[in-house]
Structure 1
Amino acid sequence: MTSVLRHHRYGRALGAGVLSVALLSGGTAGAFAATSTPSPKVTTTKKPMPTRTATMKPKPMPTRSATKRAMPKTAAAATTAGSITVSTTHKTVKHGEAVAFAGRVKGVKAGTVLVLQHRMNGKWTTLRTTTVVNRNGTFTIRRTFTAKGNETVRVVTKDTKVMSSPVSVKVS
């Protein structure tokens, strides 16, 4: 019988089943004899457990490196600190004409100083144009551009922790 249990699928399954029943019944009897209280009642669920079918596919879990790449540190810091949205009504202006940038802040206190920055030679440079956040969370910044060309600007808090998306203005 030993060779049947070792070399055949059904024999192995039968041997494993017999061994499992023996271990479970021996453990249960020993546990029951050791305690004077009866074992807890068996509860049944109203809904049957779902079974895995051929159409169900396991969902891959995201790896630690994938989640780090998906959320860079600068974006996480900007999201937690607050947000600034800015827009302008005039996308094209003549040089020497003032442009008004209006927007709204979230997560930034009223009275916070906002500054205007423009992109020059690939770097953001702070301009001397400032304003403060109103009690209702809005602001307006006016700037006169004297140089012709495209100006890409953004609004940031004075401590540069919160910044808006860039806005382009063509100066002709």
Structure 2
Amino acid sequence: MLETVAAVPGMVGGMLLHCKSLRRFEHSGGWIKALLEEAENERMHLMTFMEVAKPKWYERALVITVQGVFFNAYFLGYLMSPKFAHRMVGYLEEEAIHSYTEFLKELDKGNIENVPAPAIAIDYWQLPPDSTLRDVVIVVRADEAHHRDVNHFASDIHHQGRELRETAAPIGYH
């Protein structure tokens, strides 16, 4: 469920920066690309875990509702304060790192079956063909750490009274 909304902040931030760039005829310093890469990366987390979990129809319906509410709330929040919006995502990513660490502990204890990694994960993260769910969780947790750092960095830039375009975005991590 969390991965369905995790892709929203990057898409919203990227979209709003894209529109701002078009209105002002200025570059974004790579931030549009960085935020859209984050959104795509989070979407791939979802696609991967959907292969493992196989959600039911009512879970999919819940996703539509939660995503609709979160998208609009985050959109308004980003318009009001990009600094707050990025900081909030940084903290959410910290929670995601903690959750994936707990997931790894449960895998290691044998409470969750360490099934073979889905093909989509092997292709996306260029993992060895014999990779397992544990290998996937490790790379996903690393992605979340990167998202945490990017969003805290973006918030820090705003906190300093500057615009994101004034500082080059950290891109190309995948």
More strand by share: 1
* Structure index of larger Rg: 1
Is TM-score (shorter-chain normalized) higher than 0.5?
no
State the structure with bigger RCO (CA 8 A, min sep 6), 1 or 2.
2
More helix by share: 2
Q: Give the TM-score normalised by the residue count of structure 2.
A: 0.20
